[in-house]
């Protein structure tokens, strides 16, 4: 299959605020006041968790269809902890981002336990967001 390209454009509207355009969709990424922002939108790591939840849902449905099991509904909780020391410049001891991300899937799925485990395992192997988080992804940043 051919590679697919995805892209976004963002414009700074404040010290912590950008307006992001992705095709015909726009979103504000900001920070709450305690992190120096104007709280006009979710913050970057919340968008990351939302992206992961959305990606898991897409693949969960795809894999359920392939396995001929019906996914009637699902809720997803995602959370992570990070230490703000490096981000804020106060300490370089810990990593900047989430140390671990925990996700709980609560699917309405008519299947036995072994089938559910196989379903989950397949989702993890095929979710683009899971891959980009769990495995190193080169990020090349250049100045225009």
Residues 6-25 that bind a copy of itself (CB under 8 A): 6-12, 15-18, 20, 22-23, 25
114 contacts a copy of itself (rule: CB under 8 A): no
The DSSP bridge partners found for residue 21 are 9, 26
Q: Rounded to whole angstroms, how far apart are CA atoms 41 and 50? A: 13
Work out the number of other CB atoms within 10 angstroms of the CB of residue 121.
11
Query: Looking only at residues 50 through 79 of this chain, which bind a copy of itself when binding is defined by CB under 8 A?
Result: 50-59, 61-63, 66, 71, 73-79
Whether 16 contacts 94, CB under 8 Å: no
139 contacts a copy of itself (rule: CB under 8 A): yes
Count of chain residues binding a copy of itself (CB under 8 A): 109
45 contacts a copy of itself (rule: CB under 8 A): yes
Q: State whether residue 128 is helix, strand or coil.
A: helix
């Amino acid at each position: 299959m051919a590679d697919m390209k995805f892209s976004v454009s963002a414009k700074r509207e404040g010290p912590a605020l950008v307006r992001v355009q992705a095709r015909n969709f726009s979103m504000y990424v900001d920070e709450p006041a305690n992190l120096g922002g104007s709280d006009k939108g979710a913050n970057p790591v919340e968008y990351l968790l939302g992206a992961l939840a959305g990606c898991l849902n897409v693949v969960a449905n795809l894999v359920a269809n392939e396995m001929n099991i019906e996914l009637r509904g699902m809720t997803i909780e995602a959370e992570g902890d990070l230490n703000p020391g490096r981000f804020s410049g106060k300490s370089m001891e810990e990593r900047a981002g989430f140390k671990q991300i925990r996700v709980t899937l609560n699917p309405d799925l008519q299947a036995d336990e072994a089938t559910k485990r196989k379903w989950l395992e397949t989702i993890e192997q095929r979710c683009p967001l899971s891959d980009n988080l769990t495995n190193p992804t080169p990020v090349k940043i250049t100045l225009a």
